[in-house]
Amino acid sequence: MRLFILIAAIANNQVTGIAQQYILSDNSSVILKGSSTVNTFTCACLEEWPVLSPVLQPGDNQVAFSNANLIIAIKNLDCGNRMMNKDLQSTLHADKYPTITVSLMTATGTGLGLINGAWQTLQAQLKIQLNGQENAYWTVINAKKIDDHNIQFRGTLNLKMTDFKIVPPRPFLGMIVVHDEMEVALDLYIHRVN
């Protein structure tokens, strides 16, 4: 998700008060994964990624963020077929709450900056708004500097539908049970535009 691009400022120790702008390249992916009693499913995010300019407040090996919000239209989650897309939209109550908002709140790192070609571990606190509910999560992000303008981030965020007061669906008269747990898998390629 676009918010992880903001971690690039920490990863490169570019917390200078100068606004940096970042975009996700086209080979980035954000995938929602889930399962049921009969199979697994994946839904890819088909959003276009605009340029973001976060506001950073540096601290001791930690940065607090504001203006770091990602809004995903639920209708832009593609599960591979029209019926699954419709089921996902219904399950997430997209008619009443059409978007998912992800806000990057805080990020911590090693303080060493990224070295070309070497993976480093960062932690990010995210606030997620879904179905009219809001929850905060910490997640581990692996980051690798590709060159002076490009960074790759990989990570997963584990969620439960019930955390957002969503009842996991039971299609076919309850014969199939969709599991409560979901995983958001990220593989993001970030490009600094200024």
Task: Judge whether 36 and 178 are in contact, CB under 8 Å.
Answer: yes
The span from the first CA to the last CA of the chain, in angstroms, equals 20
Provide the CATH number for the domain around residue 11: 2.40.128.110
Task: Judge whether 156 and 162 are in contact, CB under 8 Å.
Answer: no
Which tokens go with 157? Answer: 């965020």
Task: Judge whether 23 and 191 are in contact, CB under 8 Å.
Answer: yes
Dist CA 123 CA 107 (whole Å): 6
Dist CA 79 CA 160 (whole Å): 18
- The residue-averaged pLDDT of 162-190 equals 89
Q: How confident is the model at residue 17 (pLDDT cuts 50, 70, 90)?
A: low
| Predicted local confidence at residue 2, as pLDDT | 43
Q: Which residues contact 148 (CB under 8 A, 6 or more apart)?
A: 192
User: Is the per-residue pLDDT at 12 higher than 60?
Assistant: no
Burial class (CB in 10 A: 0-12, 13-18, 19+), 136: exposed
Dist CA 117 CA 121 (whole Å): 13
| Higher-pLDDT residue of 110, 90 | 90
Burial class (CB in 10 A: 0-12, 13-18, 19+), 38: exposed
Q: How many domains does the chain have?
A: 1
User: Is the per-residue pLDDT at 73 higher than 60?
Assistant: yes
Least confident among 14-28, 147-161, 174-188: 14-28
| Higher-pLDDT residue of 119, 165 | 165
| Predicted local confidence at residue 67, as pLDDT | 66
User: Is the per-residue pLDDT at 114 higher than 60?
Assistant: yes
Task: Judge whether 81 and 43 are in contact, CB under 8 Å.
Answer: no
Task: Return mean pLDDT, the chain.
Answer: 81
User: Is the per-residue pLDDT at 157 higher than 70?
Assistant: yes
Domain ranges, residue 158:
2-192
Least confident among 132-136, 148-152, 189-193: 189-193
Q: Give me the amino acid identity at 132.
A: G
